[in-house]
Structure 1
Amino acid sequence: MKTLYRKRENTCSWNFLLKQMSLYIGFYFMLGCTGIPDEKSIESDISSKPNVLIILADDLGYGDLGAYNEQSLVPTPNLDTLALQGVKFVNAYCPIAVCSPSRYALMTGTYPWRSWNVSGVMRNYERSMMAPGQLTLPAMFKASGYTTAGFGKWHLGASFPTTDGKKPIGHGKFYDPDNGANIDLTGAVHDGPIDHGFEQWLGFSCASECWVLKDKTIIGAMQHDYYTVEKHPQAGKIKQIPMDSYLPMITKASQNFLKEKASKKGKPFFLYYAPYVPHVPLAVSKSFLGRTPAGAYGDYVHELDFYIGELLHTLDSLKLSDNTVVLFASDNGSAFRTTYQGMNASNAANKLPGHFRDTMGIYKAPASSSLSEKVHSPNGALRGIKSTAWEGGVRSPLIVRWPGHFPKGLTTAALFGMNDVMATLAPLTGYILKGGVTTDGMNLLPVFYGKGTKSRKSIVVQSGNNIYGLRNEKWKYIEMPLKEGGTYDELYNLEEDPSENHNLATVYPERLEQMKKELEQILQGQSTTVKTN
């Protein structure tokens, strides 16, 4: 596929987000003279049942894409083009800063702290986060007559069979030297993707478990540098899948699924493409190593963009693009504050060397004579990284495209959460949700059409270690813990201070108390923060 790379100036400017704010305000004014569909057009679309492709990156930063950060050192031509072809959200949230919980929000339309897993990511072999009978995104599509398929990363729990009837060795841990030694490789895996709405699945349940599933069957194991299944008696006989071949493997499987659907021309499809990229360890293939000035991390993001381009090109070549809604997002912010050539970033144990946290919570590269003059900031101007409740941990790039239906090249300031995806897409599938909402998500489909920019007023955000916050219009509140016990408050005006540098908690005490009260009400019961225009 021929790709045109867009040249970007690399002059340093941390005011990029502020510039965007003024740009999309003007853009909305211009839209009054352009072709935004009216209600009748939207009603017609709702009856058409388009295909849906969701692309969920793993630990990709808000500032990695050129479309979001003019200072990015990583070429992302395919995602930048996607943004030009559709609607780009600048206020979209995971809204949880680690993998499993944010995927739960996407799959159920529910905040993860309402599940049994109140905080943090899933550990090895833990049961499903979904309650029995709980509606999921793929189950909704399946019930609406769609063919459903997923490729890549699940990380929402599953039940593995064992040879001794006991729990899998390593259960509840991230690492165990004897991991999975009693797994029954001939048995079926239950309560995983297939039991929660997917008709086809290829990928792992959890990277640290290593096992790769095709539907309910274990077909191989990830050849991870840190996690291992070598103590299993059949480890030498099962297929070992190198980390750097996993991305092309699931891309090829996704392309084959699309080709099959195009040849049969039957039911519409829902395809979930969930690469394990750019999550550490950075398993960059040899052909992409050294391609960017942002180090191995930048190379990995660039490689991800290439394979997303291959997938989108397949949609085009099969003439499926015009009737396919594409939604791209990341499950949380990047784990890196900065990346650069020569960095040692592929730590297999998921612990990042060479970074420290100062008193303001800002992560920086250490002073070093070997540090390149060119430094990439994966989360752009946003403060914090993966696992934090600051914007760098919870704000996600989000792009939606449906040619001829959603506006082309629109940037929207509308507030949107991953927990809104199910309720927003439900009308397009013909599925009727009670009241048009999920537990914590609402139908924001008008926003995809360039309408209803203030449909959602607030959204809860959460760190990986149980720190909660609330985004309410332009305001952001976080309840931060103290080392000696107790908490202190942080309040930011994100419209004026997107980098969260100026704590206004003592300046606006009434606003602070209002947001604290609202957050507490949501945490104690059902969401009360969503409202329509």
Structure 2
Amino acid sequence: MKIKQLGILLGMFGCVAAFAAEPFSLESSAETSRPNIIFILADDLGYGCLNSYGADEKHVRTPNIDRLAAEGKRFTDANTPSSVCSPTRYALLTGRYDWRTDLKSGVLNTLDPLHIDPSRPTIASIMKRAGYRTAAIGKWHLGYGSGSKLDFTKELSPGPLDLGFDYHFAVPQNHGDSSGVYVRNTKVVGLRSDQKIEIEDSSYGRKYYGIDAPQRVDEEVMDVLTDDAVTWLEEQDSKSPFFLYFAPVAVHFPFTPSDKTKGSSSAGYYGDWIHELDLSVGRILDTIDRMGVAEDTLVVFTSDNGGVLMTEGDRPEAQAYQAGLLCNGDWRGRKHSIYEGGFRVPFMVRWPGRVDAGAASDATFSLVDMFATLAEVVDQPIPAGDVAEDSLNVLPYWLEEESAVPIRDSMALHSPNGNFALRMGPWKYIEGKPNPNAKRVIRKEELHSQLYNLESDPGETRNLFHENPEVASRMAKRLDALRESGRSR
């Protein structure tokens, strides 16, 4: 049986007793010339799940997240480098496309080793170099350790603390993953022994590993993660700026809203789960308001890929669709797909005094660009060598310094099949080939050469591949050059 562990986690195991050497002060960190930074990466949140991106309030209500749009800038052409979880997270933190690693298709498994080489600079290590205190709280999904198969009863190192994070508290892989436990820094929270215990399988068919530690309760996970993030924030003082990478598990399957949100939407558990995410974001924003540091804090909100669109059946995703909620808006496709619904995500930036409130932009960029952009924010040069090879500084887009010349001349997209697409101006070219070593090939109907003009056909309904062979050929060559060069910059 699962153990009700919220009180246990925050009490017996001491949530954040040693986060900071000094107690929190209400004084502003304005004397540091660099802003505090909170980067919120939602899980599987599609473009059409927020009111600020077109969701009807009769289905869902997202006032806290939409506050970021009202008080900051909203982007309509922000893209993830992958239409699935861990490859996007790798690219975000390293500024490098994940398909340049040994993960050419699919995602990391729960027992896989640390996917980021500890010698590779990350956003977190850049922040530490700039004097920031750093934390990674929420979903991790980038592995731990260096062996071929992770042993959760041992020290989980190397891990986030070797990548520039001072503190780490996480769900190891996905919401509802087979580990069933939380990780704090380098250990399973509350680990009692290395013996396997009997744990009842989940109601959605997942078998747990039986780690001898308090088991997560799915309906409590968002509260536990948010409590931890709030406590870490409150432990910070004004002597150093902070960087929080907060990765909620919502709105990833399974959909397990708490009692606070269950039944609160007209879109079933899927809509309730979106409400759970919105409450979490609201608590983060309320915390920095209460601390008196909101004016000195840059907040970024986005998602790791598009939503899981289902139109038939009785799963919560299909029930939400049947109720009228289009999780990816009008974009074609979904998570796992090569179409825009898998990559186009909400993206908001709030930075008081620097980013215009209520602004919107259709500038094109990728989450892989966050490394170079945040390095610019904290005035840190990108280290020489093979570092952040695919990351471009898009800060001018945030600060209303947009020029007639796009910062990106092209942008690669990649599906879990290993199928590549390339964006160039209004054009989108889809190569249509799976990785030959892919363990599982899905959505086989997408595996053919395609070319779309997103300016005239944003829904990707008219394949122009045979009508524009010169455009397709030019883009195929650009994609080959991008892969062969090993870098975008």
Normalised TM-score (structure 2): 0.83
Among 115, 140, 143, which residue is 2:129 paired with? 143
Find the residue that maps to 2:346 and give its secondary structure. Answer: strand
Of residues 140-149 and 53-62 in structure 1, the stretch that sits farther from structure 2 once superposed is: 140-149
Question: 1:201 matched to which residue of 2?
Answer: 168
Contact 1:47/1:430, CA 8 A, preserved across alignment? no
How far off is 1:507 after superposition?
Answer: 2.1
Of residues 76-85 and 48-57 in structure 1, the stretch that sits farther from structure 2 once superposed is: 76-85
Of residues 406-415 and 485-494 in structure 1, the stretch that sits farther from structure 2 once superposed is: 485-494
Contact 2:130/2:378, CA 8 A, preserved across alignment? yes
Find the residue that maps to 2:51 and give its secondary structure. Answer: coil
**Moved beyond 6 Å, runs of 4+:** 482-486
Among 481, 484, 487, which residue is 1:521 paired with? 481
Matches within 5 A, 1:453-468: 454-468=406-420
User: Is 1:324 paired with 2:273?
Assistant: no
Question: 1:433 matched to which residue of 2?
Answer: 382
Among 210, 215, 230, which residue is 2:180 paired with? 210
Matches within 5 A, 1:60-459: 60-71=45-56, 73-159=59-145, 168=149, 183=151, 185=153, 187-207=154-174, 208=177, 209-220=179-190, 225=203, 226-229=205-208, 231-232=210-211, 235=212, 238-261=213-236, 264-338=237-311, 343-345=314-316, 374-434=323-383, 438-452=388-402, 454-459=406-411
Determine what percentage of the aligned residue pairs are the same residue.
35
Contact 1:48/1:428, CA 8 A, preserved across alignment? no
Find the residue that maps to 2:476 and give its secondary structure. Answer: helix
Find the residue that maps to 1:389 and give its secondary structure. Answer: coil
Separation of aligned partners in 1, 2:447 and 2:265: 42
Over residues 24-45 of structure 1, what are the superposed CA-to-partner deviations in whole Å (9 max), with x where a residue is unaligned?
xxxxxxxxxxxxxxxxxxxxx9
Of residues 124-133 and 493-502 in structure 1, the stretch that sits farther from structure 2 once superposed is: 124-133
Find the residue that maps to 1:480 and give its secondary structure. Answer: coil
Separation of aligned partners in 2, 1:418 and 1:230: 33
**Matched AA of 2:127:** F
Over residues 48-68 of structure 1, what are the superposed CA-to-partner deviations in whole Å (9 max), with x where a residue is unaligned?
211100000000001111111
Cα 1:184/1:397, change in 2 over 3 Å: closer
Over residues 82-109 of structure 1, what are the superposed CA-to-partner deviations in whole Å (9 max), with x where a residue is unaligned?
1111111111111200100000010000
Separation of aligned partners in 2, 1:258 and 1:106: 22
Contact 1:83/1:409, CA 8 A, preserved across alignment? yes
Cα 1:527/1:413, change in 2 over 3 Å: farther
Find the residue that maps to 1:240 and give its secondary structure. Answer: coil
How far off is 1:256 after superposition?
Answer: 1.1
Separation of aligned partners in 1, 2:468 and 2:31: 44
Find the residue that maps to 1:104 and give its secondary structure. Answer: helix
Of residues 288-297 and 474-483 in structure 1, the stretch that sits farther from structure 2 once superposed is: 474-483
Separation of aligned partners in 2, 1:386 and 1:259: 35
Contact 1:477/1:492, CA 8 A, preserved across alignment? yes
Separation of aligned partners in 1, 2:467 and 2:148: 53
Separation of aligned partners in 2, 1:65 and 1:115: 33
Give the count of matched residue pairs.
Answer: 436
Contact 2:180/2:209, CA 8 A, preserved across alignment? no
Find the residue that maps to 1:79 and give its secondary structure. Answer: helix
Contact 1:205/1:212, CA 8 A, preserved across alignment? yes
Contact 1:74/1:302, CA 8 A, preserved across alignment? yes
Of residues 48-57 and 473-482 in structure 1, the stretch that sits farther from structure 2 once superposed is: 473-482
Contact 2:255/2:269, CA 8 A, preserved across alignment? yes
Separation of aligned partners in 2, 1:474 and 1:310: 39
Separation of aligned partners in 1, 2:224 and 2:446: 48
Separation of aligned partners in 2, 1:89 and 1:79: 14
**Matched AA of 2:88:** S
How far off is 1:338 after superposition?
Answer: 4.7
User: Is 1:478 paired with 2:453?
Assistant: no
Separation of aligned partners in 1, 2:311 and 2:273: 14
Contact 2:55/2:325, CA 8 A, preserved across alignment? no
Separation of aligned partners in 2, 1:151 and 1:422: 18
Find the residue that maps to 1:248 and give its secondary structure. Answer: helix
**Matched AA of 1:253:** D
Contact 1:338/1:376, CA 8 A, preserved across alignment? no
How far off is 1:220 after superposition?
Answer: 4.9
How far off is 1:487 after superposition?
Answer: 5.8
Find the residue that maps to 1:67 and give its secondary structure. Answer: helix
Question: 1:13 matched to which residue of 2?
Answer: none
Contact 1:46/1:428, CA 8 A, preserved across alignment? no
Cα 1:484/1:101, change in 2 over 3 Å: closer
How far off is 1:217 after superposition?
Answer: 1.5
Question: 1:9 matched to which residue of 2?
Answer: none
Separation of aligned partners in 1, 2:447 and 2:255: 36
Separation of aligned partners in 1, 2:82 and 2:287: 32
Among 454, 464, 479, which residue is 1:494 paired with? 454
Cα 1:117/1:220, change in 2 over 3 Å: farther
How far off is 1:495 after superposition?
Answer: 1.5
**Matched AA of 1:213:** V
Contact 2:41/2:304, CA 8 A, preserved across alignment? yes
Cα 1:256/1:332, change in 2 over 3 Å: same
How far off is 1:488 after superposition?
Answer: 2.9
Question: Structure 1: which 5+ runs fail to align?
Answer: 1-44, 161-165, 172-182, 346-351, 356-363, 366-371
Separation of aligned partners in 2, 1:220 and 1:89: 41
Separation of aligned partners in 2, 1:456 and 1:184: 41
Over residues 238-282 of structure 1, what are the superposed CA-to-partner deviations in whole Å (9 max), with x where a residue is unaligned?
212201111111111111111111xx3111000011011110011
Of residues 211-220 and 381-390 in structure 1, the stretch that sits farther from structure 2 once superposed is: 211-220
